[in-house]
Copies of this chain bind each other. A is one copy, B any other.
Amino acid sequence: MRNDKFPDTDGFDLQNFLPFLLNQAAESASIDFQKVYKDRYGMLRTEWRVLFHLGLFGSMTAKQIGHRAKTHKTKISRAVHQLENRRFLKRTRDDQDRRVEWLALTPMGESAYRELRDIAVQYDAKLAGQFDVDEIAILRKMLRRLAGFE
C-alpha cells in the first residue's frame, strides 16, 4: 500500500485502505439511487431490499430474505411491516409450520418493484459505463468474493 499523494506521511494511505475505500465507493455509488426509492417511494434501504427480493424470487420468508441480504431479522421485520402497511406485500401463514409466514408482493408491490428495477438497471449501466467492460467484470467478481457471495 503506497501513498503517492502524501509521501511525507507514515506510509499508511487512508484513501486506499480497503474498508474505508469500499465504504466511500459504496456510499457515492448508491446515493443517487437512494434518492429514487427514498424521495419517490418513501422507502428505506431495507424496504427496497425486501421489495427487490420478493420481486426477484417471488414468495419468500423473512428469514430467507434476511439470510440472502445479510440483514438482521428485526430490520427485516420492520421493513415487512412497513411494506405491508403500504399494501406492497401480503403475508400468509405456512400451514405445515405456523411460525413461518410467506411474503409476496401485491400487484401494487409488483408495479413498484418493476419501476424501481428498471431504474436500477439503467443506474447500474450508467455506473458501469465509465469503465471498460473487462474491468467492470473484474470489479464485480472481486466484490462478490469480498461480499462472500461465492
Give chain A's interface secondary structure class: helix
Instruction: Report A126-143 residues with CB < 8 Å from chain B CB.
Output: 127-128, 130-131, 135-136, 138-140, 142-143
CB distance from A117 to the nearest CB of B (A): 5
Contact of A26 among B25, B34, B130 (CB under 8 A): B25
Find out whether the CB atom of A33 lies under 8 angstroms from the CB atom of B56. Answer: no
Q: Which residue of B lies closest to A136 (CB)?
A: B142
Residue numbers in B under 8 Å from A22 (CB-CB): 22, 25-26, 29-30, 143
Number of A residues contacting the other chain (C-beta, 8 Å)?
53
Find out whether the CB atom of B140 lies under 8 angstroms from the CB atom of A139. Answer: no
Find out whether the CB atom of B16 lies under 8 angstroms from the CB atom of A70. Answer: no
Instruction: Report A71-106 residues with CB < 8 Å from chain B CB.
Output: none
A146-B25 CB under 8 A given contacts A18-B127, A120-B12, A124-B18: yes
Proximity string of chain A (16-60) to chain B, C-beta cutoff 8 Å, 1 when within and 0 when not: 111111111111111001100000000000000100110011000
Residues of A within 8 A of B (CB): 1, 6, 9-10, 12, 14-30, 33-34, 49, 52-53, 56-57, 70, 117, 120-121, 123-125, 127-128, 130-131, 135-136, 138-140, 142-149
